[in-house]
Structure 1
Amino acid sequence: MLEKYIDELYEKNDLDDEKLLYILENIDDKSREYLVDKSHKTRMKTYGNKVFMRGLIEFTNYCKKNCEYCGIQNKNRKADRYRLTYEQIMECAEIGDRLGYKTYVLQGGEDPYFNDERMIEIIKGIKKRFPNNAITLSLGERSYDSYKKMFDAGADRYLLRHETASKELYEWLHPGEVFGDRIKCLYNLKEIGYQFGAGFMVGLPCQTNEDLVKDLRFVKEIEPHMCGIGPFIPQKETSLGEYSSGTLEDTITMLALVRLLLPNVLLPATTALGSIDKVGREKGIKAGGNVVMPNLSPTNVREKYALYDGKICTGDEAAECRKCIERRINNAGFEIAVTRGDNVKWSQENPHVPQYDDKIVDINGILGF
């Protein structure tokens, strides 16, 4: 019965909630292998064996919110706060371009210092220097007007993980926040015209399989261009610091199911996956993932962006991260694409946007090998 439901999902790219729940409640190692194989085939049909790299710039760890799972929550007085300057952000972008990244991900807490005026200056500065490179923002909840101003300034994408599609679980994890506000933000991003991303955590405290089915149904209905999925990993200074992490197996299952539900989605194999398993990112890619995000942030601030404990690659220089992740991807049987890496459906709808760059990236030369 399990493989029959997986086959139906593979063929139709949809499945009713009862059958999705049956898969989650009955999957074992053998059936997970079968699911991953179907997910891989779907990914190969839409994206081939290409993996897109994004240069991650974690530019502020200040945050006004108090999400219970997050190490940079406002009430964490032990967090060592920092903000990158405009010049530092531009230097990160310059390094990223030399390393062949055609997308930058500007990620930070919900920091009021980086208001619309400052963000527009940063976006326009990057676009002036690197007009063919894409900018993804991940700055949390903002107003419709704020999102629109940044889009008009040149931002291409926006990632706003919904974290969980269960209202009760969401509002427990986000004290004082309203679940509907988060969902409204996602629909605003979609209406404005961003390539937008949703996403959720796997293995959250009190999360049930029914909650995970809600996540699957939500992303199927909203159809994000990107979907960020990673395991919950506790951070010692939060109220959830004593809980267990989500598992690699459960996260791989959810990645594979999302790939089958949304064949065109951009699906990261996250750093969090690599943090709970030394080959977690490779396993994520084999399960349908096609995006990785090596870090471009200055090494002296990476440990400070402590969303969770045990984060990998905090001490590696940008070029070392680039070389390491490419080697890992190649060893797993995949290839790096030197491209913006837009959602394939979006690319078909916007054929005027250039994808590939003819510059050869001599990573060995950069590293001095």
Structure 2
Amino acid sequence: MSKITEKLEKEQFLEKEEFKWLLENNTPDLRADLSNRARRVAGQTFGNGVYVRGLIEFSNYCKNDCYYCGIRCSNEQANRYRLSEPEILDCCAIGYDLGFRTFVLQGGEDPDFTDEQMLELIRNIRSGYKDCAITLSLGERPRAVYEAFFAAGANRYLLRHETASEDHYQKLHPKQLRLEDRKACLQDLKEIGFQVGTGFMVGSPHQTVENLVADLLFIKTLNPQMIGIGPFIPHQHTPYKEAKAGTLEETLLLISILRLMLPKALIPATTALGTIDPKGRELGILAGANVVMPNLSPVSVRKDYALYDNKICTGDEAAECRVCLTKRIEGIGYEILTHRGDYPQD
């Protein structure tokens, strides 16, 4: 065990069989070894700081019909909403007063929230909050649209690849969605100059160890600035409503592996992790994560942005989320950092 984990900590390339061994031998001792190494590596760059991002889930309309997602277009039970620009700007104002210096605008691929509207929104946020980072999570767009978003003032873009294996991708998505298109979008975003985030669901339906190894190898090659992973959690109005959820243990193991693979990456302890375990986000940080994303969306719509069932923090006001997370982070010996928290440059 120690030879492989030592090799990983030294950022030496692991062979497929070595990654496979780590994933197939996920014992408490192995997780403890990897998490200790991951914390040490994270501390060398970030100290005991955890970056905080203000999440604004501005629309749950989506043109896509991904088989695992609660806001898929064919879910007729979803209570759809779309925040107006003034409502979104109000979220930014509240967040700024609470100390947030990164806003994450996340939505489904909403065809009626146009690129022109998004450009105007980005410009207004950039004009009003010059010291803040703007992160977008809006799915697949043409390269020219990404370029326009970047020129308007957006800094970061989150686009999970979900799985790097073609056959697995097709089991999770309708046939009109293609893995090669998603990978091309990620490459475009990097070339344009965004700080880019990708990631995958842990324990998604039909996922194999080989799929996870492919994910790790893809991420190592892409070398993103941000990596978002979280456990798959089923939603009651999807084809995979009866599927088994991903586990805390496998997610924590993978967070540690990713931290050691890419020491400077920005890795969130996700809401999904906190949903499957009451201390999931704290455990994620202790495994090597260094970002948390409290929700700035209006409480009236929180429960409707339901990618999966039983999402936490849907009833908390933004200030409550901020205070609660700060206490939780301090309780494990870390501190919230309120600056932008950009990817560290060499």
TM-score, normalised via structure 1 length: 0.93
Alignment of 1:168 with 2:167, yes or no, is yes
Alignment of 1:79 with 2:88, yes or no, is no
2:20 and 2:125 map into 1 onto residues whose CA distance is: 44
The alignment's C-alpha RMSD in Å is: 0.7
Q: Offset of 1:48 from its aligned partner?
A: 1.0
SS at match of 2:297: coil
Corresponding residue for residue 194 of structure 1: 194
1:161 and 1:74 map into 2 onto residues whose CA distance is: 19
Q: Offset of 1:4 from its aligned partner?
A: 1.4
* Deviations, residues 54-110 of structure 1 (Å, cap 9, x unaligned): 000000000000111100000000000000001000000000000000000000000
* Deviations, residues 264-298 of structure 1 (Å, cap 9, x unaligned): 10000000000000000000001110000000000
Given that 1:57 and 1:105 are in contact with CA atoms closer than 8 Å, whether structure 2 keeps it comes out as yes
Gaps of 5+ in 1: 349-369
SS at match of 1:344: coil
* Deviations, residues 152-174 of structure 1 (Å, cap 9, x unaligned): 00000000000111111112211
* Deviations, residues 128-148 of structure 1 (Å, cap 9, x unaligned): 111110000000000000100
Q: Offset of 1:328 from its aligned partner?
A: 0.3
Structure-to-structure mapping, 1:313-352, within 5 angstroms: 313-345=313-345, 348=346
Q: Offset of 1:47 from its aligned partner?
A: 1.1
Gaps of 5+ in 2: none
Corresponding residue for residue 88 of structure 1: 87
Given that 1:116 and 1:149 are in contact with CA atoms closer than 8 Å, whether structure 2 keeps it comes out as no
1:22 and 1:6 map into 2 onto residues whose CA distance is: 11
Corresponding residue for residue 264 of structure 2: 264
Given that 1:50 and 1:337 are in contact with CA atoms closer than 8 Å, whether structure 2 keeps it comes out as yes
Structure-to-structure mapping, 1:123-138, within 5 angstroms: 123-138=122-137
Q: Offset of 1:30 from its aligned partner?
A: 1.1
Q: Offset of 1:13 from its aligned partner?
A: 4.4
Corresponding residue for residue 66 of structure 1: 65
Q: Offset of 1:15 from its aligned partner?
A: 1.3
Alignment of 1:253 with 2:253, yes or no, is yes
* Deviations, residues 213-232 of structure 1 (Å, cap 9, x unaligned): 11110110000000000000
1:273 and 1:208 map into 2 onto residues whose CA distance is: 20
Structure-to-structure mapping, 1:105-254, within 5 angstroms: 105-176=104-175, 177-254=177-254
1:148 and 1:333 map into 2 onto residues whose CA distance is: 40
Letter in 2 for 1:138: S
Alignment of 1:18 with 2:17, yes or no, is yes
Q: Offset of 1:27 from its aligned partner?
A: 2.3
Letter in 1 for 2:147: K
SS at match of 1:329: helix
SS at match of 1:301: helix
Q: Offset of 1:206 from its aligned partner?
A: 1.1
Corresponding residue for residue 27 of structure 2: 28
Letter in 2 for 1:231: P
1:262 and 1:309 map into 2 onto residues whose CA distance is: 31
2:26 and 2:158 map into 1 onto residues whose CA distance is: 30
SS at match of 1:219: helix
Given that 1:92 and 1:297 are in contact with CA atoms closer than 8 Å, whether structure 2 keeps it comes out as yes
Alignment of 1:290 with 2:290, yes or no, is yes
Moved more, 40-49 or 262-271: 40-49
Letter in 2 for 1:223: N
1:267 and 1:175 map into 2 onto residues whose CA distance is: 29
**Could you tell me the percent identity over the aligned residues?**
53
SS at match of 2:106: strand
1:162 and 1:96 map into 2 onto residues whose CA distance is: 29
2:277 and 2:14 map into 1 onto residues whose CA distance is: 30
SS at match of 1:12: coil
Q: Offset of 1:14 from its aligned partner?
A: 3.0
Q: Offset of 1:12 from its aligned partner?
A: 2.7
Corresponding residue for residue 98 of structure 2: 99
